Amino acid sequence: MAGRSSKRKKKQAQRRTRRHLRRLGGWIPVGVVGAGAVAIAVVAIVVGGALRGGSSTGVSIPERTVSAQGRTLGPENARVTIEEYSDFQCPYCARAAETMDPKIEQEYVADGRVKLVFRHHALIGQESIWAAEASECANEQGKFWDYHDKLFENQHGENQGAFSTDNLKRFAQELGLDTQAFNLCLDSRKYEDLVKAETEDALKNGIQSTPTFVVGEQTVPGLPSYDSLKKVIEGELRKNP
C-alpha cells in the first residue's frame, strides 16, 4: 500500500510540473532511466497547438553581431552570466534562439554587461545527443554558433532523421567547414561523454526542461516573455554593479 501511495504522489507531482511547464512553454522529460542515465523520454508540451512532433519550426535566426569564444557570447569578465540549457531538437529552444537570444545579445551582451553561455541538455533522444556532439565538432573549427543556428533552422520533429549522421555532415559541408576533420570527429563520438555528462549534471541540479535560463543566481524555466526575463537580468545586474 505504501509503495502504491508513493507512486501515486510521484505521478501527481509530475502532472503538476507538466502543467506548470505548459503555461511557460517548454519540454520536460517524463523520467530518467536508471541512476546516472540520460533522460530520453519526453513529453511534447504544446502552447496553443502550434508545435507537434512531426512539424518543422521554420525559424530564421538573425545574423550574430557580438563576439564569440567557443560556446560563449560576450566577454569573460561580464557582470552577469546567463547559462542557456538547450536541446537542438526542442522547438521552444529554436524559438528562443530566434527571438530571445538576439534581444539579449543586442541589449546586454553587446555592451559587455552580460555573457551568454550555451549548455547542452540533450533530453529528447539519440538525435539530440548526435546533434550536440556535432556542434562540438564544429566548435573545434570556431563555428559552434554557425552550426548551432543551422541545427535549429533544420529541425523537423524528434528522432525522425533530421539529425542523422549524414545530415549532420551535410550541414558542416554547407557551412564550409573542413569536412574531413569534422567527419572524423563526428564518427569517433569523441564528445559523447561530454554531452551526456553535461546533461546529467543539469538534471542533478534540478534543471528538468528546455529551454532553461540560469541568470546569475536565478533559474527561469521554459520560454518566458522577453520582458519577464529582462526583469531578472536587471535584478542580477543591480546585485553586481
Q: What is the pLDDT of residues 101-128, one digit of tens each?
A: 999 999 999 999 999 999 999 999 999 9
Q: Tell me the C-alpha to C-alpha distance, in Å, between residue 174 and each of 100, 167, 193, 201.
A: 26, 10, 27, 33
Q: What is the pLDDT of residue 19?
A: 46
Q: Which residue range forms the structural domain that includes residue 26?
A: 2-239
Q: What is the pLDDT of residue 58?
A: 82
Q: What is the pLDDT of residue 22?
A: 44
Whether pLDDT at 45 is above 60: no
Q: What is the pLDDT of residue 4?
A: 59
Q: What is the pLDDT of residue 39?
A: 37
Kindly report the CATH number assigned to the domain that includes residue 23. Answer: 3.40.30.10
Whether pLDDT at 74 is above 90: yes
Q: Is 178 exposed, middle or buried (0-12, 13-18, 19+ CB in 10 A)?
A: middle
Q: What is the pLDDT of residue 5?
A: 57
71, 139 in Cβ contact below 8 A? yes
- Region class of 138: left (phi > 0), else alpha (psi between -120 and 50), else beta: alpha
Q: What is the pLDDT of residue 11?
A: 54
Whether pLDDT at 148 is above 70: yes
Q: H or E segment at 29? A: strand 28-29
Whether pLDDT at 208 is above 70: yes
Whether pLDDT at 33 is above 80: no
Euclidean distance between CA atoms 11 and 5, whole angstroms = 10
Euclidean distance between CA atoms 56 and 54, whole angstroms = 7
Q: What is the pLDDT of residue 56?
A: 58
CA angle 126, 214, 39 (to 5 degrees): 25
**Of all residues in the chain, what percent carry a pLDDT higher than 70?**
76
Question: Given pLDDT bands bounded at 50, 70 and 90, which one contains residue 42?
Answer: very low
Encode pLDDT of 2-32 as tens digits: 555 555 655 554 454 444 444 444 545 544 4
Q: What is the pLDDT of residue 28?
A: 53
Give me the number of domains the chain comprises.
1
